[in-house]
Amino acid sequence: MPHRHAVRPLLTALAAAALASAAFLVPASPAAAADPWPVPDHATISLDGRGFGHGHGLSQYGAEGAAQAGLTYRQIIDFYYPGTQWGTSGGSVKVLITKDTSKDVVVDARTGLTVHFLESGRTWKLPAQVRRHGPRSSRVEVRRWRILPAAGGRSAVSYKTGGWHEWKVARGDAELAAGGQPVALHTPHGVVAYRGALRSASPSGSPADRDTVNVVSLEGYLRGVVPSEVYASTWHAEAIRAQAVAARTYAAYERAHAPSSRHYQLCDTAHCQVYGGYSAEYPTSDDAVATTAHQVITSGGEPAFAQFTASNGGWTSAGAFDYLPAQQDPYDGWTNQGHQTWSATVTADDIEKAYNIENLTSIDIETRDGNGEWGGRAETVRLTSSSGWTGTVTGDSFRSHFDLRSTWFEITAVDPQ
């Protein structure tokens, strides 16, 4: 099974909004700061860092370290989300398939394939063969089926033998499914198989446009998430199970808080949590999903906001809820995994361009969260120009602009070009 080259950190909608607002320069605060680093023209600024991701909640590498130390998945979850309770969740989720950037939904023909029209509620079984008309009438195999938007907010269903032929048109959105068996979706980026239904969904107010949305059971969805987020082929079973609980809880929370007018509840990228569909499934992660079936953590009787990150560098960072505290993590550093510690460089020219500064002359990390080495994660970075102007940017903004692994970093050197 293909594996990601690195475990990716979660970037939630809340974090994305924070980054968007953080991109603007704000007046420098009067808080005490370390001596600034002078920055010559065109200098290179060297950084050392800790962790990969925002640091909230479960550390994926930390969960593996905890499992190696003998903790069960429930003990791992209780450590990273203190004060939560255990509960259950089921049902289905609607996942935006970002790989399919075309307006059509194209799938391979297969046994049991049906099309369901949402407005009328009618479902039709799709034939495996169709009659070819002509001087020598015969039956031919259908190779593919597709749904396209049609005039008047309708959906047109077509089949492919040699070319495409229209089969049926009806009002509203439509979806293709095979009774829970995987269906192979053709996208501009390749073929990926998914459980559940593949819906040609109309964005609000855009009946002529369509997005592909996978409507799938929560447990089926988890089977495509867990091996896309951790190394299911090599990691400890308890760590994989902890990831299953965190991912299920996160999905249940996002489903409960998605706008009712939106045609999906989750996406398939790290902006939500990575989802590879049936094509990503793996035996050990399937076992983790089955072993923890329907288990979630709750707060106040509702699914918790179970954020997780690749590595917290040895300290979790405080999130938006009490069950996401800043605390020392003794499990995250079990190996030199390339995320717990890292180095990077940023040029003065890049900073000037990113923040529209003329001639940057000094830089320093103005405020930190107070947890861990160097005083913890950078909350604000102070920049000064040759004109005497001084301003600050948030650590999140600085990380986002320069693709740093986290906001926990220290300036170690400023070298002339």
Using the 8-state DSSP alphabet, how is residue 262 labeled? S
User: In the block, which residue shows the tokens 């002078």?
Assistant: 38
Q: Is 156 helix (H, G, I), strand (E, B) or coil?
A: strand
pLDDT exceeds 80 at position 27: no
Burial 125-141 (b: 16+ CB within 10 A, else e): ebeeeeeeeeeeeeeee
354-372 residue pLDDT tens? 999 999 999 999 999 999 9
pLDDT of 134 reads 62
Asked if 218 and 245 count as a contact pair (C-beta separation under 8 A), the reply is: no
pTM score over 0.85: yes
Where residue 375 falls among pLDDT bands split at 50, 70, 90?
A: very high
Query: What's residue 389's pLDDT?
Result: 87
Q: How far is CA 158 from CA 150, 179, 187, 347, in A?
A: 12, 20, 17, 54
Each residue of 333-346: pLDDT tens digit? 887 566 789 999 99
Q: How confident is the model at residue 135 (pLDDT cuts 50, 70, 90)?
A: low
- pLDDT on residue 136: 65
Rama region for 305: left / alpha / beta (φ>0; ψ in -120 to 50; rest): beta
Those residues with Cβ within 8 angstroms of residue 163's Cβ, 6 or more apart along the chain or in another chain? none
Work out the percent of the chain whose per-residue pLDDT is above 90: 84
Which of 11-25, 37-51, 271-285, 317-331 bottoms out in mean pLDDT, i.e. has the lowest? 11-25
Whole-number Å distance between alpha carbons of 402 and 47: 11
